[in-house]
Amino acid sequence: MLRRTFSIVLLAALTGCGGSSTPAPAPSPSPTPAAAQRPTIAVIPKGTSHEFWKTVQAGALKGGAEANVEVIWKGPAREDDRDEQIKVVEAFVTRKVDGIVIAPLDASALVRPLKAAADAGIPVTIFDSSLEWDGYVSFVATDNRKGGSLAAEELGRLLGGKGKVVMMRYVEGSASTNEREEGFLETLKTKFPNVEVLSSDQYGGATLESCLKTAENLLTRFPEFDGAYAPNEPSAAAFMKALTDAKRRDTTKLVGFDASEALVQGLREGQIDALVVQNPFRMGELAVKAMADALAKKPVEKRIDTGCTLVTKSTMDEPAVKEILSPDLSKWLK
């Protein structure tokens, strides 16, 4: 009887102290402040097929990891699909991302949707190509006019200051390539008055196939010229192939803009004389970091120049140049 009374008293004591035969479940962990506040930044390139944009993507992902923001990469497949890029912008506005980082396909057509994003409280950073609107946080890009000037100086030097040249334009409305084209023409006119420009009004278009067709048409139209300038990756690759196929490479100097595996190999093998190269990895990284800083209410420069470099066969193996020509993307692009 005494043992039973003691058991009852002990049970009552445990119950009074919060004891239970079934332990209470542990509370669910609440998200850490960093996870709860991690901003989402949409990065919208001009296209997704060319190697240039893959390098930008890797840089953007690096920038996002270092700034502790989530990066969403989405853009049109083709670099002439303005309507699709506008749809991508509008979708991200509807999704209410924290910031938009974009390389506008058209200097004017993208103003309306990007202004709408800003009006909805979503800040915008521009990279690669300028826009006819100054409501953005920052513009992160190459000095494209300077790049075109570097190309003209090198082609003029290769020609000894005299000869006939052609220039293939890219697509209408592309501010970045337009500046490269105008910088090239201005420098030729002022520094090399004895170099005659036979053609500067033909557009290659957004694909390698369309650029190749334009290059072949220029070769047919002008059976003889001494030099050519191509202001981006597909136009340079197209001119390199067209000149080689026509067996005119030995008599024609070629300067291109941007780098890809094919162009770098062409430079090494003498199929192209020089490339003006940007730093797309750095461009993507700095564009995302600029937006992250803006979201954190830190000061951001309105214009960030990511630089450009003239590369020839004699300089392409220098360590600093190799890092730009062939960056290791494997850590960021799986």
Q: Using the predicted structure, report yes or no on whether residue 22 has a pLDDT greater than 70.
A: no
CA distance 307 to 324: 11
Within 10 angstroms of residue 157's Cβ, the number of other Cβ atoms is 14
Q: Cβ neighbours of residue 210 under 8 Å, at least 6 residues apart?
A: 204
Q: What is the mean pLDDT of residues 14-27?
A: 40
Q: Mean pLDDT in the chain?
A: 90
Confidence of residue 303 (pLDDT cuts 50, 70, 90): very high
Closest of 266, 256, 105, 258 to residue 184, by C-alpha = 256
Are 60 and 73 a contacting pair, CB within 8 Å? Answer: yes
**Is residue 211 over pLDDT 50?**
yes
At residue 127, the pLDDT reads 98
Asked whether the beta carbons of 232 and 181 are under 8 A apart, the reply is no
Q: Is 288 in contact with 63 (CB distance < 8 Å)?
A: yes
Cα gap 87→291, rounded to integer Å: 21
The distance of Cα 43 from the centroid of its chain, to the nearest Å, equals 9
Asked whether residue 7 carries a pLDDT value surpassing 60, the answer given is no
Percent of the chain predicted with pLDDT > 90: 86
Residue 112: HSE in the Cβ half-sphere, 13 Å Cα cutoff: 6
**How large is the C-alpha radius of gyration of the chain?**
28
Residues 204, 168: contact at Cβ < 8 Å?
yes
- List, for residues 59-91, the tens digit of each pLDDT value: 999 999 999 999 999 999 999 999 999 999 999
Per-residue pLDDT tens over the stretch 220-241: 999 999 999 999 999 999 999 9
Q: What is the dotted CATH code of the domain comprising 144-277? A: 3.40.50.2300
User: How far apart are alpha carbons 248 and 242 in whole angstroms?
Assistant: 9
Q: What is the pLDDT of residue 213?
A: 98
What is the mean pLDDT of the segment spanning 90-104? 98
- Parallel, antiparallel or unpaired: strands 274-277 and 309-312: antiparallel
The pLDDT of residue 33 is 46
37-142+279-306 shares its CATH topology with 144-277: yes
The pLDDT score that the predictor gives to residue 37 is 77
Residue 19 has pLDDT above 60, yes or no: no
The lowest-confidence range among 47-56, 194-203, 289-298 is 47-56
The Cα 279–Cα 15 span in angstroms is: 70
Say if CB 264 and CB 236 are below 8 A apart.
Answer: no
Q: Sketch the domain layout of the chain as residue ranges.
A: 37-142+279-306, 144-277
pLDDT at 180 exceeding the cut of 90: yes
Q: Residues 13-30: what's their mean pLDDT?
A: 41
Q: Which CATH number fits domain 37-142+279-306: 3.40.50.2300, 3.40.50.300, 3.40.309.10, 3.40.50.1980?
A: 3.40.50.2300
Mean pLDDT of the region 292-311? 97
Q: What is the 3-state secondary structure (H, E, C) of the chain?
A: CHHHHHHHHHHHHHHHCCCCCCCCCCCCCCCCHHHHCCCEEEEECCCCCCHHHHHHHHHHHHHHHHHCCEEEECCCCCCCCHHHHHHHHHHHHHHCCCEEEECCCCCCCCHHHHHHHHHCCCCEEEECCCCCCCCCCCEEECCHHHHHHHHHHHHHHHCCCCEEEEEEECCCCCHHHHHHHHHHHHHHHHHCCCEEEEEEEEECCCCHHHHHHHHHHHHHHCCCCCEEECCCHHHHHHHHHHHHHCCCHHHCEEEEECCCHHHHHHHHHCCCCEEEECCHHHHHHHHHHHHHHHHCCCCCCCEEECCCEEEECCCCCCHHHHHHHCCCCCCCCC
Question: pTM (2 decimals)?
Answer: 0.83
